[in-house]
Structure 1
Amino acid sequence: MSQPTDTRVRLDRLADDLSPNGQVQTTTFHKAMDGIEVPKSLPDWYVYPNLALDGEILRGRVLLVDAAGAVGKSAAATAFSAILGWPLVHTERAQVGSFSLSGIIQESMGIDSDFLARVSSGTSGLVIDALDEALMRAGSDNFFAYMDNIASVAASIRSEKPGIILLSRTETADLVADHLSEKDVAFIRSRLDFFGKAEAEQYVRKYMRRRHSETSDAKYNAAMSHPAIFDKLLRKRMVGLGKLVAPNSDIRQEWRDFEDFLGYAPVLDAVAESVAVTNPALELSAGSNGSSSQFLRKVLSDILVREQSKVESGLIEKLRVTLSPGLDMASVENLYSPDEQVSRLAARAAGVEVSVELPASLPSELGATYRDAVEMFLSDHPFMRGKDFASVVFADYVIACAESPAALVSVDRQSASPRVGPFYCRFLAPAEADTHTSIDEKVIARLLASWRAESDVVQAQGFAIFSAGDGECRLTLVRGDMAHGDRGGFAADPLEFRVSNFSSLLELKSPIANISVVGNMGVHFSSDSEELILGDHVVVVVDEVEVDAKSIRVASNDEAPAILVAFSELKANRLERVGGSEALKISSPDSPGRLRSYTFEVESGHRMVTYSQYVDLRAILLSFGRSAAGDPAVYYEKIDQAIVKDNSSRRALFQYLVDRGVIYRDEQLYRLRRDSLSALGFGVSEIYRGEPGPAVLEFLAGIPGNAE
């Protein structure tokens, strides 16, 4: 079966093409029955999606519509039914296993109903939704018996147009397609697509009208009371997110690069809530409210919660059927939790099997049934498109969550070497500024790769600072252009990580640039191509260095040379050649022969100043803010609990500032004495620029403990 093409048809126009003689059909029910209905109308907030078709619409008996999770499949089924007047069978409620399709029709319309004859003649039809949920609830044997009956009805259709519309998630649709093929029933495969740009904006506006109707909350009325200003705010928000999702594309011209995220209904729900304000003009002039990564966290968290609530009720019903007498499901809760979803998705994407801890409230005898059911829904998770993630945003979020200390399982992904995008480092970082996250050293390579990707997005240099000493190991990611604040939607605040259980050997893979490594440790350089590329601003001052490559290409310049200092040993046993620029400096007791022309002596009397110390100084001084008169102040709790915390090097720096008279205590406040700071040769304005000048470096060199 070929995959759906990119031929797009809007749902209402497709329904008009399917309608016999262009007329809405009338269906009479003998009695009300749960699981079958004809909706009288569509809600006014509904937005018609597009469908991508595979084949000609007039050549098939069945239209098989598949969709990723949460795209709006059930709403589309309702729309087809309302437009055509065809009965809508909610398969998840229709007691599949007790009733066949024919049985459902006869039970609801009467034994003498001619409805199935009208379907066969092409004057009416059926819309059958939620086949995936029916499979989970009824089991494969009952489900395929139900499909046999559907195939039999479809085979009787004499019209060239489809008389049955089936809707399910993608993996179940594959099973249905195979089954119809085996029964020799002609069908057309289609995919429910994400919203286009105009439809996405329309969806948000209608969301606002719906929520205002439901709640009467004034914040939802802005789309109606101030439509022009509201549209500007909405487009600004969409453009801001678009810069993150596809930074090299224009959201106004190349929507296809954004639609798998910004055309996705749950994401649009979160976007709508972010622009639900009583004064859109004030919000528009205020600029960004919080970092885009924080907004993305909320969007993705909301999707996981939505998926849990959708799947959980069906799981409980399925599990209840197989439960032994004497046990009940009353206390079972928190099935398919967001944490469980993330752990299972990470393992699935990595191609590894993991044992995820079952919900504590689940009876042990249901474990195997539960795992099988969850795996089926996992295949059609909203974050996935087939076996791949539907968006790099989803991928980075899942990988970061699975590698956080709070993950349900530890998925060893090192062998899988997953590619990460610019969001991974932000998702792994703490949600609040001026705090840190503990990480395993295995994720350092992915953090650095993500940081480089983010640097490309925001078009600003990003520096990585790795330091080990005094019983702690830290990785700090910081912008070289911090003075410009939020760049491309990414906050400029440094990201801080504690590396737990560090082995004292840091692995760095080529290409390497903009990194500082200082500490009592070793560094191992390697390259997949056997060529180690050293770019600008590479400073390594450690005990041991090993170069595991046949060649070194120096890509740095004289103003930012690559500097390798190994106090004990520098090994490069396989090194055959060194090329590129001459901007390489080596210092070691016994440098390898091919590196001796680059050696230099570390002069006595020089003190080592690490970039992390400058980052610490910046964090402390900028916490005071700016003041037009008097000494700037900050509450001492913020300094002690949010800025300095348990960071020993930052605490030593803070005490050094106190000892030099730059900072003093004033009851519940710390104050910054600007004249004392000026006496050191620099001011807060220089700190805002983001690069340390000579006076700042001289001050930092005087910190007790900086080795000569």
Structure 2
Amino acid sequence: MSSRAALRDLVDSLPRNAIGGLVEQSIDSSFFAHPVAPASYVWPDVIVDDDKHASPVLLVTAPGAMGKSVAARATAHRLGSPLVDLAKVAIGGDGLTGLLTRVLGWTQAPQFVTSLQRGTASLVLDSLDEAHLAAGRAHFLAFMKNVVELVGQGSSNSQVVIFGRRDTMESAYLALAEYGVEAQQVSISPLAYGQTCELIDLVLDDIVHQGRSYDLHRQHSVPFGQHRDAVLLDMARALGSDAQTVQLAWESVGGFLGYPPVVRVLGRHLVIDNPAALNSSTAPRTSGSTRGGLLREVVEEILDRESAKVRDQLRPALGLEPSDPRLGVLYSREEQIVRLLQRSRGGGREIALPGSLSPDENAIYQDQIENFLPDHPFLRGSGFENVVFSDYVLAYETLADTVQVHGTTNSAPNATSVGPFFAHFVHAMSATSRVDGDEVAVLREACIDAVLKSYSAGCIDPSNFVYSDNPDQTRLFLGEGVDHPTGPSDVLKFTISERSGVVELTSPLGRGLVITRGSVVISGVADEIQLGPDLSVFAEDIQFVGKRIGVSSAMGSTIGDSSDNDGRVTLIARGSVDSDPEMKLSVYPATALAIFWSNPSYQWLGHVLKLAPGSISGLPPAAAWQLMFGLRRLLTSFQASATADPSAFSEFVDRIIVGSNPVFHVALEGLVELGIVSREGALYRLRLARLSDYGVNYAALRGPDFENTLEGLYSDMMKTDSLQEFARDESGNE
């Protein structure tokens, strides 16, 4: 069993130096007789074994970048003890005793060692993991033996405190036990909610904004605290919490949100110019389009920190000068990612070693890296520390062409292997292309399904998607509540590359719109396909790969559920639909499915749409139904207002609802021509008085027989110039 305790309280229970102030007799860059307290330090908690025992050695561990070195400095300062940076020590058989003698001299060193053995003085050792990397296993074991020799058979007051990463500390524990000392172990915890808030304040204290020290968080602490908590809660929900407050969410998400590098980046993100904007719609939030960039900044800051740390250790081992340009290519982000993939997947990848190093240097390099990698902050054992790190690595592997140098391909990940952040990382890391005056992320067609599943997994509110193509371009939009977003920035926008004309999607599939002149393949899991709610597919051809298809108009609906029917699944194909001849179709309720294509098999017959409106308009039936559903989607995209006609952001309607789809484009033109929709600056307005002339209301639009409600409007729209021209073009293409 273990419990959480304050590190400061634990430190206060350790022996303080009882001897007078130590005087360094010689200078050594690794030794600090009187370490200075770190500025702006937030003391974390530690996890302590409830069955703790007395020991002369206390091992303090944490993942990389958790703040071990600053904790070591704070601990040494509070105890008044010397601090040794082992990263700068050539550890070995007498590495520690020799250092003490050399720095303190023959008079002070014996006095200090005697006090240490009696448990009336303390010694803090930092960066054992880095020393381990530089020295190798034999010298590491000799050093641990030297630690045991130093404390001898004296008191067991945890007077030697050693900081390092998890894997190294496990090795240290075993080595000490072999030499007769069972060390006490504690691990630094991610920051608690209150500690996180304290660190955010300290981060902001150091920011110079618009030429002056930033202080809005101090001057307006209450509204700023609400603003901070709103951002943290956004992140918590992205991590899968459904808690109503960030405090309640912390137990499940604090492992990531309390990680100091994450807190520092979030703190910088919280800077805002105007106090009046706090908690308003203009205050920054981790919206869909910014979350990936924010998380990317967090992750890459950790990777760059690892690069710098390892290069510092490798330089003397390789005999390189600090100015040697070859240092800059060692242990890059990409190399770390490939090595992480190799470790997490059990090998199989050949690492391309730096070409600038000689064969002998490469042998040293490879040996050093293999010792250091197990302590990488992204790892826990052979897996990843958390889903944020694993999703970043998957996104990098998917997007970076240069990973092919290491024998890794850019194949799309399986949709079941991605977490809720993969879509956001892909959006943030992809190349961009200018589309309709907007910089849009470029996504390979093969990655669409993985991105859809990832985005859905990260949403608390129902997620929606729109996939629309035409001969010129294909677009994908993802949004949480995309029918009524707060603005276009809440939507992830992609333009699709490497188009084959066939989009492949996997079950479950719902809350989306697919419009394509190509083919759609929908595959099941274990031969079962789940469709709905609120799914519309308009395609040339549709193929179902599975033996059972279940359709529901309400997520999680069960027999006897009284849910309404506004989540209907609509499948319309201009060409053919292919499914297993023995396929079993289950639909609940019976009105949850509407289909239209030529010669449907017997399983589908009970769900065929009635005589298509195209029979009275001259449009081919499939195109006529697509137009009908386009009208419905446009009309239901407007948000109600208490003081004016319903509105929708024009950018949202033009780029997401309509996008590149010619059918929806002419539907919007027809509504404008009839005076039902008008443009007012950045908004479209839905003129309810004009709409009521056709007997159309919102409830009917959401119902199962909406086509009857729209019949009069549809008939008048077909008389507009834009629809007449569209009908001629469609009839010519049929």
- TM-score of the superposed pair, with normalisation by structure 1: 0.79
2:556 matched to which residue of 1? none
- Mapped contact 2:315–2:327 kept (Cα < 8 A): no
Q: In 1, Cα distance between the equivalents of 2:262 and 2:410?
A: 30
CA root-mean-square deviation? 4.4
1:547 to 540, 544, 548: 544
| CA deviation after TM superposition for structure 1 residue 13, in Å | 0.9
| CA deviation after TM superposition for structure 1 residue 78, in Å | 0.9
Q: What is the SS of the residue equivalent to 2:247?
A: coil
- Mapped contact 2:403–2:409 kept (Cα < 8 A): no
2:580 matched to which residue of 1? 572
- CA 1:525–1:92 in structure 2 vs 1: closer, same or farther (change >3 Å)? same
| CA deviation after TM superposition for structure 1 residue 463, in Å | 2.9
1:63 matched to 2:54: no
Q: In 2, Cα distance between the equivalents of 1:305 and 1:684?
A: 45
Residue 568 of structure 2 aligns with an amino acid whose one-letter code is P
- CA 1:57–1:123 in structure 2 vs 1: closer, same or farther (change >3 Å)? farther
- CA 1:7–1:400 in structure 2 vs 1: closer, same or farther (change >3 Å)? same
Q: In 1, Cα distance between the equivalents of 2:662 and 2:587?
A: 42
| CA deviation after TM superposition for structure 1 residue 223, in Å | 4.2
1:631 matched to which residue of 2? none
1:31 matched to which residue of 2? 26
1:245 matched to which residue of 2? 239
- CA 1:169–1:202 in structure 2 vs 1: closer, same or farther (change >3 Å)? same
2:173 to 157, 174, 177: 177
Q: In 2, Cα distance between the equivalents of 1:576 and 1:656?
A: 38
Following superposition of structure 1 onto structure 2, how do residues 286-685 of structure 1 map, counting pairs within 5 Å? 287-289=282-284, 291-293=286-288, 294=290, 297-312=293-308, 314-315=310-311, 317-322=313-318, 329-346=324-341, 348-349=343-344, 353-355=348-350, 358=353, 366-405=361-400, 408-409=403-404, 410-411=408-409, 419-429=417-427, 434-454=438-458, 456-457=459-460, 459-467=461-469, 469-470=470-471, 472-478=473-479, 481-485=482-486, 491-493=489-491, 495-502=493-500, 504-556=501-553, 559-566=566-573, 567-576=575-584, 578=586, 580-582=588-590, 583-599=592-608, 604=615, 605=619, 606=621, 607-608=623-624, 650=660, 677=672, 679-684=674-679
CA offsets per residue over residues 64-94 of structure 1, 9 Å max, x none? 1111111110011112211222221100012
- Mapped contact 1:474–1:499 kept (Cα < 8 A): no
- Mapped contact 2:507–2:531 kept (Cα < 8 A): yes
Q: In 1, Cα distance between the equivalents of 2:91 and 2:48?
A: 28
- CA 1:493–1:344 in structure 2 vs 1: closer, same or farther (change >3 Å)? same
1:118 matched to 2:118: no
1:667 matched to which residue of 2? none
- Mapped contact 1:347–1:353 kept (Cα < 8 A): yes
Q: In 1, Cα distance between the equivalents of 2:402 and 2:464?
A: 28
| CA deviation after TM superposition for structure 1 residue 192, in Å | 0.7
- Mapped contact 1:505–1:523 kept (Cα < 8 A): yes
- CA 1:435–1:420 in structure 2 vs 1: closer, same or farther (change >3 Å)? same
Q: In 2, Cα distance between the equivalents of 1:201 and 1:548?
A: 50
Q: In 1, Cα distance between the equivalents of 2:128 and 2:439?
A: 47
- CA 1:563–1:160 in structure 2 vs 1: closer, same or farther (change >3 Å)? same
1:83 matched to 2:85: no
- CA 1:269–1:280 in structure 2 vs 1: closer, same or farther (change >3 Å)? farther
Q: In 2, Cα distance between the equivalents of 1:554 and 1:314?
A: 54
- CA 1:198–1:497 in structure 2 vs 1: closer, same or farther (change >3 Å)? same
Following superposition of structure 1 onto structure 2, how do residues 669-708 of structure 1 map, counting pairs within 5 Å? 677=672, 679-684=674-679, 687=684, 704=726, 705-706=729-730
Following superposition of structure 1 onto structure 2, how do residues 85-234 of structure 1 map, counting pairs within 5 Å? 85-97=80-92, 100-112=95-107, 113-114=109-110, 115-154=112-151, 156-211=152-207, 218-234=212-228
Residue 262 of structure 1 aligns with an amino acid whose one-letter code is L
Q: What is the SS of the residue equivalent to 1:445?
A: helix
Residue 174 of structure 1 aligns with an amino acid whose one-letter code is E
Residue 451 of structure 1 aligns with an amino acid whose one-letter code is Y
Q: What is the SS of the residue equivalent to 1:252?
A: helix
Q: In 1, Cα distance between the equivalents of 2:273 and 2:302?
A: 27
Q: In 2, Cα distance between the equivalents of 1:237 and 1:514?
A: 26
Q: What is the SS of the residue equivalent to 1:7?
A: strand
Deviates more, 1:545-554 or 1:349-358: 349-358
| CA deviation after TM superposition for structure 1 residue 335, in Å | 3.3
- Mapped contact 1:535–1:555 kept (Cα < 8 A): yes
Q: In 1, Cα distance between the equivalents of 2:291 and 2:594?
A: 44
- CA 1:70–1:217 in structure 2 vs 1: closer, same or farther (change >3 Å)? farther
- Mapped contact 1:608–1:701 kept (Cα < 8 A): no
Q: In 2, Cα distance between the equivalents of 1:370 and 1:427?
A: 31
2:561 matched to which residue of 1? none
- Mapped contact 1:51–1:192 kept (Cα < 8 A): yes
Q: In 1, Cα distance between the equivalents of 2:360 and 2:234?
A: 49
| CA deviation after TM superposition for structure 1 residue 193, in Å | 0.8
Residue 423 of structure 2 aligns with an amino acid whose one-letter code is C
- Mapped contact 1:517–1:540 kept (Cα < 8 A): yes
1:262 matched to 2:264: no
- Mapped contact 2:532–2:551 kept (Cα < 8 A): yes
Q: In 1, Cα distance between the equivalents of 2:451 and 2:286?
A: 19
- CA 1:157–1:301 in structure 2 vs 1: closer, same or farther (change >3 Å)? farther
Residue 234 of structure 1 aligns with an amino acid whose one-letter code is R
Identity %: 22
Residue 452 of structure 1 aligns with an amino acid whose one-letter code is S
Deviates more, 1:678-687 or 1:691-700: 691-700
1:51 matched to which residue of 2? 46
| CA deviation after TM superposition for structure 1 residue 49, in Å | 0.9
Residue 583 of structure 2 aligns with an amino acid whose one-letter code is L
- CA 1:310–1:340 in structure 2 vs 1: closer, same or farther (change >3 Å)? closer
Q: In 2, Cα distance between the equivalents of 1:99 and 1:216?
A: 54
- Mapped contact 1:260–1:390 kept (Cα < 8 A): no
Residue 551 of structure 1 aligns with an amino acid whose one-letter code is R
- Mapped contact 2:392–2:425 kept (Cα < 8 A): yes
- CA 1:703–1:106 in structure 2 vs 1: closer, same or farther (change >3 Å)? farther
CA offsets per residue over residues 622-673 of structure 1, 9 Å max, x none? 9xxxxx9xxxxx9xxx99xxx99xxx98397999799x8x9xxxxxxxxxxx
- TM-score of the superposed pair, with normalisation by structure 2: 0.76
Deviates more, 1:67-76 or 1:540-549: 540-549
- CA 1:559–1:92 in structure 2 vs 1: closer, same or farther (change >3 Å)? closer
2:3 to 1, 4, 7: 7
Q: In 2, Cα distance between the equivalents of 1:352 and 1:471?
A: 42
Q: In 2, Cα distance between the equivalents of 1:426 and 1:343?
A: 20
- Mapped contact 1:526–1:549 kept (Cα < 8 A): yes
| CA deviation after TM superposition for structure 1 residue 367, in Å | 4.0
CA offsets per residue over residues 547-584 of structure 1, 9 Å max, x none? 33332222137544333345234231442454533233
- Mapped contact 1:89–1:129 kept (Cα < 8 A): yes
| CA deviation after TM superposition for structure 1 residue 266, in Å | 1.6
- Mapped contact 1:577–1:594 kept (Cα < 8 A): yes
